[in-house]
């Protein structure tokens, strides 16, 4: 694809600067930048996979986000003593995110913790690195392996290359759920990252990538999505129909159950969720969560 693009004829980069100018461009460069911005696609809230915040950039939530961002654009959260305000903000975002994803459940021991990152890819990279280092410390695994579904994000491929982890991909079913039987076949004493009950049974790590739906599923669950129930028709005891609810005068069919997906699941050791998606924050903000402090300590 890249070769085809490079050989497609005239480049749309003609006129682009390739060297630093001899003299500064001055404030008028802002006008030029604004002109270039007008050529962008009208993406606000309608361009899946890009930026999820919607509306006029000078109004409402959008303007508040922009103002807050400008206030702290030149801070460095690595320096805790210099920018305690930013440290507090990060801690609050992490804690609020954890509370949505099972952090308050007794099954998680209420120790869920984490950090903010620059995006979903970094969150996944850190989770994989943490799993590798944690399993090395706990089980002495020095030739780690990782099992993921074919639908997994390409960040796992990067992680496998960066951290020298052998990667196994397993198929998914028609509902895009990973094939558990195929996963079980690949588990061995070198496996560090795996899925669901298998992770708990075999004592290995499980990362849940909620980068897209992490700020949606908790609320969908609260809104009453429920499993299907059997009908009273004795002629067909296996006939299932969905529940129905009356919501503001509209009859809504709740066809699908939302399975447990967060730290309420015993085997889950880490979760990634992007704040810059349905958290409606600026691009470049994600959260990686860990079940306990021992895991996060290994991340560093």
Q: Decide if pLDDT at 236 tops 50.
A: no
| Domains in the chain, number | 2
In a domain, 93, yes or no: yes
**Across 259-283, average pLDDT:** 90
Q: Are 114 and 91 in contact (CB under 8 A)?
A: no
- Tell me the C-alpha distance between 96 and 293, whole Å: 17
Residue-wise pLDDT tens digits, 198-224 = 777 788 899 999 998 899 999 988 876
Counting residues of the chain whose pLDDT is more than 70, the rounded percentage is: 82
Same domain, 292 and 249: no
In terms of residues, how long is the chain?
300
**Across 242-253, average pLDDT:** 42
Same domain, 192 and 151: yes
Mean pLDDT, the chain, whole residue set: 83
Question: What residues have CB less than 8 Å from 190, skipping those under 6 apart?
Answer: 141, 143, 144, 145, 166
Confidence (pLDDT) at 243? 39
Confidence (pLDDT) at 41? 85
In a domain, 12, yes or no: no
pLDDT interval class at 227 (50, 70, 90): very low
Confidence (pLDDT) at 228? 42
Same domain, 211 and 222: no
Confidence (pLDDT) at 171? 92
Same domain, 211 and 284: yes
Confidence (pLDDT) at 241? 35
Q: Are 152 and 209 in contact (CB under 8 A)?
A: yes
Same domain, 96 and 185: yes
pLDDT interval class at 244 (50, 70, 90): very low
Same domain, 108 and 211: yes
- Domain range spanning residue 236? 218-254
In a domain, 75, yes or no: no
Same domain, 152 and 233: no
Question: What does each C-alpha distance from 138 to 25, 130, 134, 294 come to in angstroms?
Answer: 56, 12, 6, 11
Q: What is the CATH classification number for the domain harbouring 114?
A: 3.40.640.10
In a domain, 143, yes or no: yes
Same domain, 238 and 295: no
**Across 282-294, average pLDDT:** 94
Main-chain dihedrals φ then ψ at residue 178, nearest 5 degrees: -65, 145
Of the candidates 23, 66, 201, 208, the one whose C-alpha atom is nearest the C-alpha of residue 123 is 208
Confidence (pLDDT) at 189? 81
Counting residues of the chain whose pLDDT is more than 90, the rounded percentage is: 50
Same domain, 132 and 266: yes
Residue-wise pLDDT tens digits, 84-143 = 999 999 999 999 999 999 887 766 677 999 999 999 999 999 999 999 999 999 999 999
Q: Decide if pLDDT at 247 tops 70.
A: no
Q: Decide if pLDDT at 230 tops 60.
A: no
**Across 270-280, average pLDDT:** 94
Q: Between 120-139 and 155-162, two packed helices, what is the crossing angle to 10 degrees? A: 40
Pairing label, strands 166-170, 229-230 = unpaired
Confidence (pLDDT) at 223? 79
Q: Decide if pLDDT at 261 tops 90.
A: no
């Amino acid at each position: 694809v890249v070769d085809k693009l490079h050989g497609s004829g005239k480049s749309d980069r003609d006129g682009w600067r390739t060297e630093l100018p001899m003299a500064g461009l001055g404030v008028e460069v802002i006008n030029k930048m604004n002109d270039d911005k007008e050529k962008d696609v009208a993406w606000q809230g309608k361009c899946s996979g890009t930026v999820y915040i919607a509306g006029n950039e000078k109004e409402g939530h959008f303007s508040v986000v922009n103002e807050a961002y400008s206030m702290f654009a030149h801070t460095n959260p690595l320096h805790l003593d210099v920018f305690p305000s930013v440290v507090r903000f990060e801690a609050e975002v992490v804690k609020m995110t954890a509370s949505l994803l099972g952090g308050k459940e007794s099954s998680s021991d209420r120790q869920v913790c984490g950090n903010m990152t620059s995006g979903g890819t970094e969150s996944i990279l850190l989770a994989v690195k943490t799993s590798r280092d944690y399993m090395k410390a706990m089980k002495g695994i020095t030739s780690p392996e990782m099992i993921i579904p074919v639908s997994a994000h390409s960040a796992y491929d990067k992680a496998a290359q960066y951290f020298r982890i052998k990667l196994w991909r397993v198929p998914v079913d028609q509902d895009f759920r990973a094939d558990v039987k195929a996963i079980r076949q690949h588990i061995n004493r070198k496996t560090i990252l795996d899925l669901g009950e298998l992770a708990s049974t075999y004592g290995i790590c499980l990362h849940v990538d909620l980068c897209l739906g992490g700020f949606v599923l908790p609320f969908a669950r609260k809104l009453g999505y429920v499993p299907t129930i059997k009908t009273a028709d004795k002629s067909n005891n296996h006939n299932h129909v969905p529940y129905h609810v009356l919501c503001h005068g509209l009859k809504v069919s709740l066809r699908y159950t939302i399975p447990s997906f967060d730290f309420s699941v015993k085997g889950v050791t880490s979760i990634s969720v992007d704040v810059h998606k349905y958290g409606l924050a600026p691009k470049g903000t994600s959260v990686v969560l860990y079940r306990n402090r021992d895991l996060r300590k290994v991340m560093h």
